[in-house]
Amino acid sequence: MNKITVKAKKLNPKAVMPRYGTDFAAGADIYACLDGGSITIAPSQTVFIHTGIALEIPTGLVGLVYARSGLASKRGLAPANKVGVVDSDYRGEIIVSMHNHSDKPQTIENGERVAQIVFAPYYFANFEECDDLSSTDRGVGGFGSTGKK
């Protein structure tokens, strides 16, 4: 298992530091830091959930903010952008844009686990314009084309 150090700053004294639920969890849980104690998200509504935490992600890594499976499957709550991307040069508060996909209002409590963050390496591409691309058996087939016979 690879380990890294990510500096984390509490922007709010009530903030909960990210932490892993198990020794082999890929994602660290991130927690709501709500001044009002709770926030209710109406069906089909999107709200910003503050965490009160800022991170210094090492250069060459990206923080990917994913849904927590329990919130998504049991309550219909997931990040509105599906996967949040936190660049290594961002120093602001980690905020989760949470969407309620259910047909019932859902309440998030202060200190509740609202998402998880996974750190991953990435490549910075130099795009080279060309007239032709190499050919493959698949070609231009997309959107489920590989499963058709």
pLDDT of 49 strictly over 70: yes
pLDDT band at 149 (very low <50, low <70, confident <90, very high): low
Report the distance separating Cα 32 and Cα 98, nearest Å. 11
Residue 93 and residue 15 in contact, taking contact as beta carbons nearer than 8 Å: no
Residue 47's pLDDT band, with cuts at 50, 70 and 90, is: very high
Comparing 26 with 144, the larger pLDDT belongs to: 26
Cα–Cα distance measured from residue 126 to residue 75, given in angstroms and rounded to the nearest whole number: 41
Dist CA 39 CA 105 (whole Å):
10
Task: Tell me which residue of 110, 34, 119, 32 sits closest to 84, measured CA to CA.
Answer: 119
Domain boundaries, the chain: 7-123
* pLDDT digits 0-9 by tens, 94-120: 999 999 999 999 999 999 999 999 999
* Domain 7-123, CATH number (from 3.30.390.30, 2.40.37.10, 1.10.8.50, 2.70.40.10): 2.70.40.10
Whether residue 65 contacts residue 48, with contact meaning beta carbons closer than 8 Å, is answered with: no
Summary mean pLDDT of the chain: 94
